[in-house]
Amino acid sequence: MTDRIFIRDLTLHAYHGIMPHEGRVGQTFMIDLDLDIDLSEAARSDKVKDTVSYADVAQCVEKVFTGQRFRLIEAAGGAVADAVLAAFPRVLTVAVTIHKPHAPIAATFSDVGVTLVRSRASGK
Residue 52 near residue 91, CB atoms below 8 Å? yes
By annotation, the residues acting in catalysis are 100
Q: In what order do the strands lie in the sheet with 27-37?
A: 3-14, 27-37, 93-99, 113-119
**H helix or E strand, kind and range, residue 40:** helix 40-45
Rounded to a whole number of angstroms, the distance between the first and last alpha carbons of the chain is: 20
Biggest CA–CA distance in the chain, Å, is: 53
